[in-house]
Chains A and B, each alone.
Chain A
Amino acid sequence: MTTPKIDALLEARARITPPATGYQPTREFIAAFRQLRQRRRTLLRRYWVAAAAALLILLTWPWRTQERPSAASAGRSDCTAPSERLAAAERHFGPAAGLLFVNDDLLVFERQDADRANHYLVTIEILASGGVKLARLEFATAGDDYIVLEDERINGRIFLVHSDNQNAVLELSLHLRNAGRGNIHLDEIMALEQRNATLALSDGTRLRVDFCRRES
């Protein structure tokens, strides 16, 4: 094909104007772009969290298999500071990841608002009538949070609304598969007017919640 022929073809190609109809309305197009961007962001975050979780499991495997103090002693001599293990997990995963200890197991979840700092520490304990600890949950939160948990050990949701530094309302709808200590189902709403509150449940068990503003 000669150069003049190519020039002629290019001119002919330039004259072909496809119809400018049949497109999405602009607002819908931008809304679709926003959704696409959000989906991609969520996907990337999930990949990152999954990779980090796998890494943490590998790194902490020797520690997890060693004999160590029970959940009861892992705890809350001072509820304004996170436990060592929660602080270590926060350092490792960074502030954007949601971290929850169910007894000795760490769960990583997607935080509702990853941009806000986790200023509050929450510990939830379920105690049998004799004071024996059946389960313990420990996590940090921005204060207002809606946490959805979907794991074989625990599923359900934790809904937390706080009105000022100390007052908060906690709604729990959780099902825990508690190996060896029986499954636990919680469907409770608690008003937290102090650092901690205890609620007697209908089956004789008790729910104890610590809700503290952390001291940085």
Chain B
Amino acid sequence: MSTPENQECRFENMILEHLPVFRSLSRRILNNPVEVDDAVQSALLKAWQQRHSFRGQAQLASWVARIVINESYDRLRRQQQEQLVEFTNTDLPAAEPSREWELQRLDQAIAELPELYRQTVHIAILAGYDTTTAAAMLDCSPNTLYQRIHKAKELLHEALQNDHPEN
């Protein structure tokens, strides 16, 4: 039987082993090391508190990685809401938009995707994991992963299609 001390020890060992992965996933979203560490801490705390709901067949670190991604995007969304004025339609560039502006819009659209597709885009496309690893981290088969990527891109297209009506 697993004692509370054993659980704590196992959880901390998992952090020790996978902290670079968690940080790397979060820093692609938040960029700032202090915010990244705060997001990872917060995600770890949530994972610890919800550990009883963790399904044993999934890998603990993969499950935590997905919570890290959610937490980081939640923080990004909050940041974006604070700077909302930058992304309103009135600010839409009249001529060719800058690449920086387009990437900001992309980040915003990803942040607003449903959780499942947000995680898929982040792990399978942005973080650059190969199909097998990404599928394992998302606790699905490679075939399901491809379908999710396809659907996620459709949703991104819907979200961004009105940005440049001339295209």
Contacts and interface: CB of A to CB of B under 8 A. Distances in A.
Interface of A: 1-3, 5-7, 9-10, 12-14, 16-24, 26, 29-30, 32-34, 36-37, 40
Interface residues of B, number: 38
Given A18-B28, A40-B45, A26 B103 contact: no
Contact of B23 (A2, A10, A16, A23): A23
Majority SS at the chain A contact face: helix
B45 A22 contact: no
A37 B48 CA distance: 8
Interface stretch (B73-81, B83-91, B131-139, B155-163): B155-163
Contacts of B157: 1-3, 6
A18 B99 CA distance: 17
B33 A30 contact: no
A13 B15 contact: no
Majority SS at the chain B contact face: helix
A34 B49 CA distance: 13
Contacts of A29: 15, 19, 37, 40-41
Interface string B80-120: 00000000000000000001001100110000000000000
B41 A18 contact: no
7 smallest beta-carbon distances between A and B, as pairs: A22-B33, A1-B160, A18-B27, A14-B126, A9-B106, A23-B33, A18-B31
Interface in B33-51: 33-34, 36-37, 40-41, 44-45, 48-49
Contacts of B99: 12
Contact of A9 (B12, B49, B103): B103
A37 B36 CA distance: 18
A30 B15 contact: yes
Contacts of B28: 16-18
Given A9-B103, A33-B15, A36-B41, A1 B27 contact: no
A23 B26 CA distance: 12
B164 interface: yes
25 contacts: A1-B102, A1-B167, A2-B157, A2-B167, A6-B160, A7-B153, A10-B125, A10-B126, A10-B156, A12-B99, A13-B107, A14-B125, A14-B128, A16-B28, A18-B28, A22-B34, A23-B37, A26-B16, A29-B15, A29-B37, A29-B40, A30-B16, A33-B15, A33-B45, A34-B12
Contacts of B23: 20, 23
Contacts of A37: 45, 48
Given A10-B153, A10-B156, A37-B48, 20 more contacts: A1-B102, A1-B157, A1-B160, A1-B167, A2-B167, A3-B157, A9-B102, A9-B103, A10-B106, A12-B99, A12-B103, A13-B107, A23-B37, A26-B16, A29-B15, A29-B19, A29-B40, A30-B16, A32-B41, A33-B44
A5 B23 CA distance: 28
Contact of B49 (A7, A17, A18, A40): A40
A17 B106 CA distance: 16
B10 to A, nearest CB: 13
B160 A24 contact: no
